[in-house]
Amino acid sequence: MNTENTKAQMRKGILEFCILSLIQSREMYVSDLIDELKKGKLDVVEGTLYPLLTRLKNGEFLNYRWEESTSGPPRKYYQITEKGSLFLKELQNTWNELTESVNQITKPQ
């Protein structure tokens, strides 16, 4: 079994939760998201992030606005919607239950 593949799948499974959590605090541009995820040791590339942001926007969990940039093309800044905030609360509850269960199961006997 490939350990790296398993670790990558675990990271991908929580990426939506992490992205919504970051955008909950403030609207963010894709580069901001990537930087914050890297700080948390989640290395994500734009090719992974854009489809996920599109899916979250299509699900009405995120909106975006365009802002002109002095150093290139206009930028999309994402913000969480009310529906996204409710979804994030559900994810937070699920995460808390899951980590509690996993910690209990995996703690040394």
Section 46-52 average pLDDT: 92
The confidence score (pLDDT) of residue 71 equals 86
Stated pTM of the model:
0.87
pLDDT digits (tens, 9 = 90+) for 59-76: 999 999 999 988 889 999
Q: Residue 58 in contact with residue 50, Cβ under 8 Å? A: no
Here the tokens at position 34 are 């990537």
**Residue 1: is its pLDDT beyond 80?**
no
Domains and CATH numbers, the chain: 3-106 (1.10.10.10)
Task: Dig out the tokens for 64 from the structure.
Answer: 């975006």
What confidence score (pLDDT) does residue 2 get?
Answer: 82
Give, for 29, the enclosing helix (H) or strand (E). Answer: strand 28-29
Predicted confidence band of residue 108 (pLDDT cuts 50, 70, 90): confident
Q: How far, in Å, CA of 28 to CA of 78, rounded?
A: 5
DSSP structure string for 59-91: TTSEEEEEEEETTEEEEEEEEE-HHHHHHHHHH
